[in-house]
């Protein structure tokens, strides 16, 4: 049997509830589970929150013994995002800034920023000049659009960018290792991501 509490779940009680539900289903069916897949959902360092994985694991262990007794099923899990999110950063560039302050990026929701529609990622980026200097002006919210002709190609929330952000600056989004490559659509020819391996930051 398997379940999934939902991506970036921070509440250990979600796993506790699902484990109890699985135990009830097995009991009603008169079946003894050999394996129980407690899914993914394990949170990664995104959205400014620090995940308490030890607490989640302890809750899973306690709930498994509480619901299945001294001989519980073997546990499986799918920890993908929690393992790989920090492995990638994603660089986009500001191609234009209009008179209202909105920015137009060279990538959007059809490319590497597709998860912005579903997850709060507004705490995980920095703005750099073309020569790599950090922009340090006061943060102001800016509407952000992708490069395609589709009106949907817009980030759902404004990006809080430094007021000295300029065209051709880089926006470096950190903790993008889960789906940044896998969900690119190449819509209208965009989203062709170049992957660069960085062995050292010095």
Q: What are the tens digits of pLDDT across the range 4-24?
A: 998 888 899 999 999 999 999
Same domain, 101 and 185: yes
| Number of domains the chain contains | 2
- For the ranges 29-43, 100-114, 145-159, 186-200, the lowest mean pLDDT is seen at 186-200
Same domain, 135 and 185: yes
Same domain, 155 and 71: no
Residue 150 lies in a domain: yes
Same domain, 20 and 74: yes
Q: Which two tokens stand for residue 48?
A: 């400014």
Q: Please check the confidence at residue 49 and state whether its pLDDT lies above 70.
A: no
Residues 6+ apart with CB under 8 A from 111: 146, 184, 185, 187, 190, 191, 193
Same domain, 145 and 93: yes
Give 41 or 130, the one with higher predicted confidence: 130
What was the pLDDT predicted at 193? 80
Over the range 140-169, which residues count as b (16 or more CB within 10 Å of their CB) and which as e? Answer: eebebbbbbeeeebbbeeebebbeebeeeb
Reported pTM: 0.78
Same domain, 54 and 131: no
Q: Which of 83, 110, 141 corresponds to the end of one domain?
A: 83
Same domain, 160 and 97: yes
Q: Please check the confidence at residue 176 and state whether its pLDDT lies above 70.
A: yes
Q: Please check the confidence at residue 46 and state whether its pLDDT lies above 70.
A: no
Q: Please check the confidence at residue 122 and state whether its pLDDT lies above 60.
A: no
Q: Give the structural domain span for 100.
A: 88-189
What mean pLDDT do residues 94-121 have? Answer: 88
Residues 6+ apart with CB under 8 A from 88: 175, 176, 177, 180
Instruction: Please answer whether residues 163 and 88 qualify as being in contact, where contact means their C-beta atoms are separated by less than 8 angstroms.
Output: no
Same domain, 107 and 160: yes
What was the pLDDT predicted at 7? 82
Q: Which of 83, 99, 134 corresponds to the end of one domain?
A: 83
Q: Please check the confidence at residue 115 and state whether its pLDDT lies above 90.
A: no
Q: Please check the confidence at residue 48 and state whether its pLDDT lies above 70.
A: no
Same domain, 127 and 60: no
Instruction: Please answer whether residues 90 and 173 qualify as being in contact, where contact means their C-beta atoms are separated by less than 8 angstroms.
Output: yes
- Give SS3 for 53: helix
What mean pLDDT do residues 32-36 have? Answer: 97
């Amino acid at each position: 049997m398997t379940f999934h509490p939902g991506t970036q779940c921070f509440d250990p009680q979600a796993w506790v509830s699902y484990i109890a539900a699985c135990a009830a289903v097995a009991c009603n069916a008169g079946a003894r589970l050999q394996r129980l897949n407690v899914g993914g959902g394990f949170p990664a360092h995104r959205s400014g929150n620090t995940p308490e994985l030890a607490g989640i694991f302890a809750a899973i262990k306690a709930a498994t013994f509480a619901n299945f007794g001294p001989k519980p099923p073997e546990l499986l899990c799918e920890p993908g995002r929690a393992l790989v999110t920090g492995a990638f950063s994603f660089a986009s560039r500001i191609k234009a800034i209009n008179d209202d302050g909105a920015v137009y990026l060279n990538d959007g929701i059809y490319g590497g920023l597709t998860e912005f529609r579903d997850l709060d990622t507004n705490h995980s980026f920095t703005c750099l000049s073309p020569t790599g200097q950090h922009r340090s002006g006061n943060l102001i919210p800016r509407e952000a659009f992708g490069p395609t002709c589709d009106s949907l190609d817009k980030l759902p929330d404004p990006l809080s960018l430094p007021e000295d952000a300029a065209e051709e600056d880089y926006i470096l989004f950190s903790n993008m290792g889960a789906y940044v490559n896998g969900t690119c659509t190449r819509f209208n020819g965009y989203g062709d991501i170049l992957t660069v391996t960085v062995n050292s930051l010095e």
